[in-house]
A and B are shown apart, each in its own frame.
Chain A
C-alpha cells in the first residue's frame, strides 16, 4: 500500500497568514492526489483533485501543487472559517489511502 505522510500534524497561524501543508507519498503517484477539508464535527469536503485542480465552489485562496511524491496545499490568506483538519488522499489504485491529517487552528 502507498503511505501518505502529512506535515505538520498541526499548526496555528494568524488570520491573513499564508499557510502551507505538505503531503508526501511513499512512492510516485503522478498527480493522483486529492485534498479534503474537514471542519470540526462536519463531513469531509473535496477541495482539490488531480493535485492542483480546484473543486467547483472552493475559494480561490486555496491552491495546491505537486507531482510524484511531494505535494503542497496552500491557503494564501487564512480565514477563521478555514479552521479544520486537512487530509490528502492518493488515488492510484486500491486501496486508496489518506494522510493522517493536519489540524489547522487560528492563532
Chain B
C-alpha cells in the first residue's frame, strides 16, 4: 500500500517561498507508471492540479502556475518537493501530494497539509 506524507511549514509570510516535501513509502518510487503530484484546495473550494514529476525528473505543470512553481525529487529518500516563491494570500490552501497512476488519475493521496500565507 502506497503511503504519502506531506511536510512543511503551516504558515508562510507573504513574498516568501513556500517549500513542501512529500515522502513516499510502501511502494516503488521509481515505478515507471507513477507520477508524483501536487494538488491544492483553497478554503471551501474545489481541487486544483498543480503539477507532477516522474522519477526520471520529467515535470508537467499546470500552465496557470508554471511560471511560479518548481517540482523536484530525491529518489534516494523517496521524496518529491514543491517550491512556490513569492507567495501571496491566494496561495493559502490545503496542499495534497498524490500519486497519479500512469499520469492519469490520483489513486493514493497524502493527508494534506494546510498552508496559510499571512504576516
Q: Which residues of A contact B (CB under 8 A)?
A: 1, 32, 34, 36, 43-46, 49, 55, 87, 89, 91, 94-101
Contact = CB atoms under 8 A, between A and B. Distances in A.
B104 A49 contact: yes
Interface residues of B, number: 21
A46 B107 contact: yes
B74 interface: no
Contact of A96 (B46, B49, B96): B49
Interface of B: 46-49, 60-64, 96, 100-101, 103-107, 109-112
A91 B105 contact: yes
A55 B108 CA distance: 11
Nearest to A6: B46
B99 to A, nearest CB: 10
A-B residue pairs, 3 tightest by C-beta: A34-B105, A91-B104, A95-B62
Interface of B, helix, strand, loop or mixed by DSSP: strand
A89 B63 CA distance: 17
Nearest to A44: B109
Nearest to A46: B107
Interface of A, helix, strand, loop or mixed by DSSP: loop
Contacts of B105: 34, 46, 49, 89, 91
Contact of B96 (A43, A55, A89, A91): A43
Contacts of B107: 46, 49, 55
A43 B46 contact: no
Contacts of A97: 49
Nearest to A100: B46
Contacts of B112: 43
Contacts of A46: 105-107
Contact of A95 (B64, B103, B104, B106): B64
A100 B47 CA distance: 8
Contacts of B64: 95
Given A43-B110, A43-B112, A98 B48 contact: yes
A45 to B, nearest CB: 8
Nearest to B65: A95
A98 B47 contact: yes
A32 B101 CA distance: 13
